[in-house]
Amino acid sequence: MTQTTEFKKSLNLFGVVFLGLAWMTPMIFFTVYGVAFEAAGGMLAAAYVVAFIAIFFTAYSYSRMVKAYPISGSAYTYTKRAINPKMGFLVGWALFLDYIVSPIIACLTFGLFLNAQFPSIPVYVWIILLNVILAFVNIIGIKSVARVSGFSVIFQILFIIFFCAFVTKDIFVGGDGSGLFSFQPFFSSDFSVSTIFSGAALICFCFLGFDAVTTMAEETVNPRKTIPKAIFLIVIIAAVLYISISYLTQLAYPNFTFENGDTASFELIQMVGGNLLSALFTTVLIVATFTQGVSSVTSVTRFLFALGRESILPNKVFGYLHPKYKTPVINIIFVTIISFFSIAIDLDTAVTFVSFGALTAFTFVNLSVISHYYVKSKMRSARQTFLYLIFPFVGACFIGWLLTLLETQTLLIGIAWIVIGFIYIGIRTSMFKKPISTLKEGKVAIENR
């Protein structure tokens, strides 16, 4: 008799929110500050507002789809069930690029900033150390991850409040700003809509975390209610933090420039608070990148588990759960090996890869709402038409447009990645003669509103 090992439901609302915030890590504002600043032409506040609006539509669509399908798999599952299994795989393949690169970003950031603080120790040493620790913590189990994430998120938010207090002081006392309330961070003499939207396309990455928590639905208590609430809380908290920091820094230091884009935030922190704030920043950043790495490994391994369970990837390998820890141990080891590539990649490239995968997945999650609720379930009252057709359609168009604004090289590499996925699934299905296998879970309730 075969014994089935299942995930243990142990996450409540706060646990899910903390995991989502830890995955995106509020300190991501600083780790990608230089890259985002250049992409948005210095208009970070405006770019974050645009990104938030785009993400809000998509967050709504995720909240609808997790009610319909409260299982692991995220955009892959939603597109496969609502639109088409083959399209679902390709969307999942794009999302895989997002998820698999996220731990690489965490390890790379960890190595870069600690090397800047301790130049005698090479970047690769820090990367190897973090990778090993991330694997160990994830193998132990999701509950330990949630505890670590809660502590980290609170620590990060307190630092951001402290930093904003320093910046606000500079606005009023000898700063370059001209008052606390101004439209200057959103409009300037060389205001460029295209540049701001290009920046928004890149920094949508900073909001990733709300989608990642959908991969933990099977480990969440009452996921149909808990996950949608967590999604909106995560997006709103992140938006308030990012927009506040960028608004205040643009007011206080409108002419700020930096030498190195990868560590531009160090230059900013040094200017704002000197050595004391820099030391505190390094401490918080170490904790933040660690928990970002923990949460991102958690998400990608659950995503691989969903693909393995359905035999899209080899089931015996990727669909395996450890009988004691109830965690996908083989997936964790696999992701740890992939994350060692952070030794040979730069931060700018990694961020753009994540943005391509995320924006592709977001577009199809919006379309999945239309297909599932409006087309298949025929929920077409006036209110339902707005909720399940117009709202997600606007979200799909908005995100799809941002996707086209990514750099040409990023788009070409992303398309090449999709082609590889198409070839892979073609081989797995004998050139599409066999159907893509699906997990038989019985009927899933639909929210009739």
177: Cα separation from own chain's centroid: 32
Give the CATH number for residue 68: 1.20.1740.10
Q: Which candidate, 258, 257, 251, 238, places its Cα nearest to that of 186?
A: 251
Token digits of residue 96:
């895989």
- At 436 the pLDDT is 65
Give a yes or no: residue 442 inside a domain: no
Helices (H), ranges, 173-262:
193-203, 223-252
Give a yes or no: residue 233 inside a domain: yes
**Tokens 């980290």 sit on residue:** 152
Per-residue CA distances from 370 to 82, 374, 394 (Å): 9, 5, 11
At residue 358's C-alpha, the angle toward residues 194 and 57, to 5°, is: 70
Q: What range does the domain containing 83 cover?
A: 13-428
- At 441 the pLDDT is 40
- At 446 the pLDDT is 37
Cα separation, 407 vs 396, whole angstroms: 20
- At 117 the pLDDT is 76
Give a yes or no: residue 3 inside a domain: no
Cα separation, 236 vs 201, whole angstroms: 18
Give a yes or no: residue 6 inside a domain: no
Contact 394, 57 (CB under 8 A): yes
Give 284-332 pLDDT, tens digit per residue. Answer: 888 888 877 877 788 788 878 877 887 778 888 888 887 877 778 899 9
Burial class (CB in 10 A: 0-12, 13-18, 19+), 101: buried
- At 143 the pLDDT is 61
The domain tally of the chain equals: 1
Amino acid at 75: A
Which phi and psi (to 5°) does residue 87 adopt? -65, -35
Helices (H), ranges, 254-313:
264-309
Give a yes or no: residue 439 inside a domain: no
301: Cα separation from own chain's centroid: 14
- At 438 the pLDDT is 45
pTM of model > 0.85: no
- At 445 the pLDDT is 35
Q: Which candidate, 76, 55, 1, places its Cα nearest to that of 299?
A: 76
Give a yes or no: residue 7 inside a domain: no
Token digits of residue 72:
């692991």
Give a yes or no: residue 171 inside a domain: yes
Q: Which candidate, 326, 289, 276, 311, places its Cα nearest to that of 429?
A: 311
Contacts of 124 by beta carbon, 8 Å cutoff, 6+ apart: 111, 343
- At 177 the pLDDT is 44
At residue 139's C-alpha, the angle toward residues 134 and 144, to 5°, is: 80
Could you list the pLDDT tens digit for every one of the 449 residues in the chain?
444 556 567 678 888 888 788 777 888 888 888 888 888 888 899 999 999 998 999 999 998 998 888 776 678 888 988 998 888 888 888 888 877 888 888 888 888 878 877 888 998 899 999 888 888 888 876 666 666 667 888 889 999 999 999 998 888 775 444 567 777 778 776 767 888 888 888 888 788 777 778 777 777 888 888 888 999 999 999 999 999 999 999 888 888 888 777 778 888 998 888 888 888 888 888 888 887 787 778 878 887 887 788 777 888 888 888 787 777 889 999 999 988 888 888 777 777 778 888 889 899 999 999 999 999 999 999 999 999 999 999 999 988 888 888 888 888 988 999 999 889 888 877 776 777 654 444 333 333 34
Contact 351, 35 (CB under 8 A): yes
Give a yes or no: residue 351 inside a domain: yes
- At 146 the pLDDT is 62
